[in-house]
Amino acid sequence: MTYKLNRAVVKGSFILIIAFGLYNFLHFLFQFFMARMLTISDYGVLATLFSVVYISAILTESVQNVVVKYSSPEKDLGKLKNLFLRSLRKVLRLSLWIFVFYLIIAVFLAKVLNISYALLAITGLIIFLALFSPVTRGILQAKQRFKSLGLNMIIEASIKLVMGIVFVYFGATVFGAMTGVILGGLIALLFSFAQLRDIIKAKEVAAKTDGLYNYARPAFFITAIVIVFYSLDVIIAKIVFPPETAGAYAIASILGKILFWGTLPISKAMLPVSSVEIRPEQKVEKHVLRTAVIIISIGIFIALTLFYLFPEMIINIFSGKNVSDAAKILFIEGLAFSFIAITNLILIYKLSINALSNYAYLSAFLIVEVILLSYFSANVIQFAMAFGASSLIFLLGTIMLLKKSRFNKANIYRES
């Protein structure tokens, strides 16, 4: 049987893989230089603050997916401007509420984490600004302006790297590093407005957003499920293992996550294509999903082969140390995150065609993960295998759960 590949997905995936690769490399350089320029304790503070920022990815990814979904089919620039401005207004209100709430919570976090309240407040500002970029980048992604999207991300990472190094070099320590992050995000956001000038200059025309909240709810839910699922393993490992063993597991887990983050651009390229090509009156274009799965599978196969053949060398290059426990489980971790990557792809595809009627039951897989990881924790190998098993259950369960989900015309035309 021959499969027809979707050109838009292939082309978009290629561009975004390169852009994400450069973005992630620049982010790695930022962490690399910060780890060497800051003291160990200061870098620990920086890493903790970044963990707080990463949690906001649940919101930013959800907002971007919603913007992509409703902007992709729209050809009229005036209606796109209307969607753009309405999204910005909603995000502004949401960001203000979150920022104020965070500043209150930060009073307690400062005591628990033993981190300066001023640093936590700066982190809140980063989260505040971060919620705007999904709107502008969502429009770029929706209109398949992948080169512009990639350039925007690279600009953010470059400025963060350069300014972070400069500020820390002149003695600003963690404050300097976080200021670099703020400047990178702010300048990239302003630049994105220039990239959307044709839409901003257009005469605004009211656009319909039927079913917006019916789409936003599952978008937020599945984003939260996926992010929590691939984050729980390290957290539970820190609870059940001594520090050195937990650290070894974390090294393997971080490398395993490369298979998830490395394939994420493919799902981002697929979302606007499937949203545009699939209509209520048309047959579902399954070759869009098939194309994305084939591309992801190729990348996964290459990474897993390297993990299987050269685990010790990969661990040594990454950590600079000989961590045998990490090398023993590297392939298992890679396999686990491969399952999660494919699961995420399926969920994004189902989301794009409004076929996520049973999505609430996905939370059950988090319970399965917690139970397996808590019970099978006699050693790091057993723990990794439990994570791999829970990831496979997540994938197979998602397929079975969503198998009966079909394109729901009412989801689109129902008034929000």
CA–CA separation, 160 and 184 (whole Å): 5
Q: 25-29, 62-66, 168-172, 385-389 — which is least confidently predicted?
A: 62-66
Q: Would you give the distance in Å from CA 313 to the centre of its chain? A: 28
Q: Is the pLDDT of residue 282 over 70?
A: no
pLDDT-above-70 percentage for the chain: 76
Mean pLDDT (whole number) for 275-280:
47
pLDDT in tens, 331-363: 999 999 999 999 988 888 777 666 666 777 888
CB atoms within 10 A of CB 218: 24
Mean confidence (pLDDT) of the chain: 78
Distance of CA 217 to the CA centre of its chain: 17
Q: Which of 101-115, 272-286, 314-328 has the least mean pLDDT?
A: 272-286
Counting every residue, how long is the chain?
416
At 12, the amino acid letter reads G
Q: How many CB atoms lie within 10 A of CB 282?
A: 9
Contact assessment for residue 82 and residue 123, using Cβ atoms and an 8 Å cutoff: no
Answer yes or no: are the C-beta atoms of 16 and 68 closer than 8 Å: no
Nearest by Cα to 206 from 383, 80, 374: 80
Angle, helix 243-277 to helix 380-402, in steps of 10 degrees: 20
State the Cα–Cα distance between residues 299 and 317, nearest whole angstrom: 20
Beta-strand runs (E) in 228-355: none
Radius of gyration of the chain (CA): 21
Vertex 405, ends 403 and 407: CA angle to 5°?
Answer: 130
pLDDT confidence bin for 44, thresholds 50/70/90: low
Report how far residue 195's alpha carbon sits from residue 174's, in angstroms, rounded to the nearest whole number. 32
Evaluate whether 135 touches 88 at the Cβ level (below 8 Å).
Answer: yes
- Kindly tell me if the per-residue pLDDT of 369 is higher than 90: yes
What DSSP line would sit under 225-263, residue for residue? HHHHHHHHHHHHHHHHS-HHHHHHHHHHHHHHHHHHHHH
Residue 59, helix vs strand vs coil: helix
Q: Residue 60 has which token pair? A: 């930013």
Q: Which of 47-51, 199-203, 343-347, 398-402 has the lowest mean pLDDT?
A: 47-51
For residues 181-204, average pLDDT? 88
